Amino acid sequence: MTPSSYPVVRLRPKAQPRAIRHGFPWIYDNELVTDRRSRGLAPGSLAVLEDAERAPLALVTVNPNSRIIARVMDRDPAATVDRAWLEARLTRALALRSRLHDQPFYRLVHAEADGLPGVIIDRFGDTAVIQPNAAWAEMMLDDLVAALVAVTGVRCVIKSASGRARGLEGLDDVSGVLLGQAPDAPVQVPMNGAIYMADLTGGQKTGLFFDQRPNHAFAARLAKGARVLDVFSHVGGFALAALAAGAEHALAVDGSDPALALAREGAAATGVAARFDTRKGDAFDVMTALAAEGAQFDVVVCDPPAFAPSKQALETGLRAYERVARLGASLVAEGGFLVLCSCSHAADLDRFHGACLRGIGRAGRQGQQIHTGFAGPDHPLLPQLAESGYLKALFFRL
C-alpha cells in the first residue's frame, strides 16, 4: 500500500495534538473520531493521523479492538512501512546493543522506545524470541522475521504469545517457532560472572529477564561473604550473581519447580552449586516461615511479579508491595541490605517507594536508602511514555 492510499483517521476536537507532536506515541479510543469507517479498519491497518483541523500528524497503526486505538509508527505521514523500514529500525536498535554488550545476549527491541510499537525482541545468541504484542506486528510478522534475520543473522526465531498485552490487543496466545529449529535444551546466558539457563520455549515471557542485569550487579557488590536470600528468584537472577561475586551462601525462593530447576542448573554451570539452595513455595508463606525459624540474611532481595499491572489493581498491588517489604525487612540482619523491586507499570516510583517505606516501618526497622536502580540501557526509556520505564529497584541498608 502506498502512503497516498492510506486511510485517514482524525483526532476529536477536544484531543490534544500537541502531545503527539511532542513524541507521545499512543492515541486512546476516546481521542479519535470513531465512525463506521474507522471502526471497520482491520486491526493493524496503517492510516494517516490528522488533527481536528485536518493537518497530518503522523503515520499510525490502528486497532479498533484496543483501548490504545492508534500507535504512532512514523512521524512522517508519508512514510512507507515495509521490510526496508523494519530493517532500518532494527539496524538502529542493534547499533545501540552492540555498543553496550560484547556478547549477543540482550533485549534487542524495547517496543515504542525503539520505534517498533508493542514489539519486544530478546536475543540469545543465534536465537531471537519475539513478542508481537500489537496487531500491526502480528500482520507483518513474516516481514518482521525476515528483517530480523537480515539485520542480526539469527538462525532461529521463536514467537512468545504469553502475557497480558496481547489479550488487550485482541490477539491469540499461541506461541511457536517461526524460523529454524528451537534449542533442544536451555540456553546458557552469561551475565555478571554467572551462567543463567534460559528456557526459550517453556519459560516465562522470553525465557530470561535481561532488564535486571545492572541491579543484579549492584546487589552482587553488597554480597561478598554474605548470606543471601533471593525471593521470587525465577531462574536465580540475584542469587547467582551474588554467588559469582563471592557470597557465602544463597537461598532462592520461587513458586515454580521448573524455574528453580533451571536455577540449580545455572549454579552448577557457574561452579557455585555447593553454596546454593532452593526452596519452593508461596513467597509470603516462605518468608513468614523463615522468620518463625529465626533465619537472618545479610542481603534479602524481593523481585515479585507485577502486583499492580493496571490502574484498577494499583491499591491492591501497593498493599502487596508493603507486605513484601515488611516480611523482607524482618529477615535482614543488623547492618544488612534489603532490595525491593517492582515491574508494575501502574505503580510509579513515588507510590512504590511509599509502600516500601511503610512495610519497612511496620517491621520495626529503619535505615538508609543507598541506591535506586532501573532497567538496563538495552531497555531504553521513551521519555514521553512513562510506561516504558516500568522497572524500579530500591536498595536499603537497615
Active site residues: 343
| Residue 231 bridge partners (DSSP) | 253, 302
CA–CA distances in Å: residue 293 to residues 2, 118, 183, 226, 319 = 68, 45, 42, 19, 25
Among candidate residues 266, 262, 207, 258, the one with its CA nearest the CA of residue 241: 266
The CA distance from 366 to 398, in Å, is 6
The CA distance from 136 to 314, in Å, is 29
> If DSSP states are collapsed to H, E and C, what string results for 181-228?
CCCCCCEEEEECCEEEEECCCCCCCCCCCHHHHHHHHHHHHCCCCCEE
Handedness of CA 303, 307, 309, 311 (dihedral sign): negative
CA–CA distances in Å: residue 278 to residues 89, 260, 386 = 42, 7, 35
The CA distance from 346 to 388, in Å, is 11
Sheet with 119-124, strands from edge to edge, namely: 105-110, 119-124, 127-132, 156-159, 176-179
Cα angle: 133, vertex 134, 136; to 5 degrees? 140
Task: Name residues whose C-beta falls within 8 Å of residue 203's C-beta, 6 or more positions apart in sequence.
Answer: 235, 258, 259, 262
Is 233 in a helix, a strand, or coil? coil
Q: Can you give the C-alpha Rg of the chain in angstroms?
A: 22
User: Position of cell 534475520?
Assistant: 149
At residue 213, φ and ψ (nearest 5 deg) are -50, -50
Provide DSSP, 19-43.
HHHTT--EEETTTB---HHHHTSPT
The CA distance from 395 to 398, in Å, is 10
Task: Answer for the pair 104, 66: CB distance below 8 angstroms, yes or no.
Answer: no
User: Position of cell 512514523?
Assistant: 74
